[in-house]
């Protein structure tokens, strides 16, 4: 069998990374969470005080320091998982929190940030055998990916799932707050000028509102097997 790259795009909290992780596990591929990279840059900007309380971002300062930002993935203590590292520090837990989710779509709209992260992401995909999820993977990062998916689910269902996920991790939030954040990010991600979220013409649509994660995996594995 040949190795392929699988590009998965879609709205916030639609189950993209769950699907990507499951596929990577079954196929023994490398899973790359591109959203984690934007979240790590957001944390970097926040720690440097470049995100002001009124939400204004010191883009100049961030852009000038972008070349000092190192982002990588290392195997987690929990078997089969990987953790995001920012300049050598494990930031996996921190970047999933609501204060990062609140600003990440503004940070990811900065063209220079995208340029740097897209280059890193393309590097990961050189050898094939990568499953990457994000917003512009099929359109910009891997326009030649052998399999492209565009995943969606009803916003109510997405909010419910993300709320449960945060709750299980002990992160405090309300369903209403989570839903607002998803809708806010979807709006910014689909309307930004640089590489907005959109379905690639040749992406296959997966609406998983009424699917279990196993049903979704089975559907997609069928497509993968027809390609490798």
Q: Contacting ligand C5P (CB under 6 A), which of 104, 151, 159, 224?
A: 104
The verdict on whether residue 29 carries a ligand-binding annotation is no
Find where tokens 């929990």 sit. 78
Q: 6-10 and 147-152 as β-strands: parallel, antiparallel, unpaired? A: parallel
The verdict on whether residue 16 carries a ligand-binding annotation is yes
Residue nearer to ligand C5P on the CB measure, 4 or 182: 182
Q: Contacting ligand C5P (CB under 6 A), which of 21, 116, 135, 161?
A: 135
Report which DSSP code applies to 68. Answer: G
Minimum distance of ligand C5P from residue 12's CB (angstroms): 5
Residue nearer to ligand C5P on the CB measure, 35 or 125: 35
∠ CA 42-45-47, rounded to 5°: 110
The verdict on whether residue 13 carries a ligand-binding annotation is yes
- Identify whether the C-beta of residue 105 lies closer than 8 Å to the C-beta of residue 185: yes
- 216 makes contact with ligand C5P (CB under 6 A): no
How does 31-59 read in b/e, with b if 16+ C-beta sit within 10 Å?
bbbbbbbbbbbbbbbbeeebbeeeeebeb
* Per-residue tokens: 122: 């393309």
* Candidate segments 68-76, 104-112, 159-167, 198-206, binder of ligand C5P by CB under 6 A: 104-112
Distance CA 171, CA 174 (A): 10
List the alpha helices (DSSP H) in 56-142. 59-65, 92-95, 98-101, 104-107, 111-124
The verdict on whether residue 49 carries a ligand-binding annotation is no
- 15 makes contact with ligand C5P (CB under 6 A): no
- 82 makes contact with ligand C5P (CB under 6 A): no
What residues are designated binding site for ATP?
10-18
What residues are designated binding site?
10-18
- Contact residues for ligand C5P, defined by CB under 6 A: 12, 34-35, 38-39, 104-105, 108, 134-137, 185, 189
């Amino acid at each position: 069998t040949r190795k392929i790259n699988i590009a998965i795009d879609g709205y916030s909290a639609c189950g993209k990374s769950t699907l990507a992780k499951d596929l990577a596990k079954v196929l023994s591929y490398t899973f790359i969470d591109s959203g984690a990279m934007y979240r790590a840059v957001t944390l970097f900007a926040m720690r440097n005080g470049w995100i002001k309380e009124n939400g204004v971002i010191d883009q100049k300062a961030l852009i000038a320091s972008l070349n000092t930002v190192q982002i990588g993935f290392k195997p987690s203590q929990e078997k089969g998982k990987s953790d995001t590292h920012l300049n050598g520090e494990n930031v996996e837990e921190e970047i999933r929190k609501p204060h990062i989710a609140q600003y990440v779509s503004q940070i990811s709209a900065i063209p220079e940030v995208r340029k740097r992260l897209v280059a890193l992401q393309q590097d990961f995909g050189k050898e094939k055998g990568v499953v990457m999820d994000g917003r512009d993977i099929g359109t910009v990062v891997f326009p030649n990916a052998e399999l492209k998916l565009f995943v969606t689910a009803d916003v109510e269902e997405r909010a419910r799932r993300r709320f449960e996920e945060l709750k299980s991790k002990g992160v405090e939030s309300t369903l209403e707050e989570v839903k607002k954040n998803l809708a806010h990010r979807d709006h910014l991600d689909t309307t930004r000028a640089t590489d907005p979220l959109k379905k690639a013409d040749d992406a296959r649509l997966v609406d998983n509102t009424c699917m279990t994660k196993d049903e979704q995996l089975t559907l997609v594995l069928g497509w993968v097997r027809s390609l490798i």
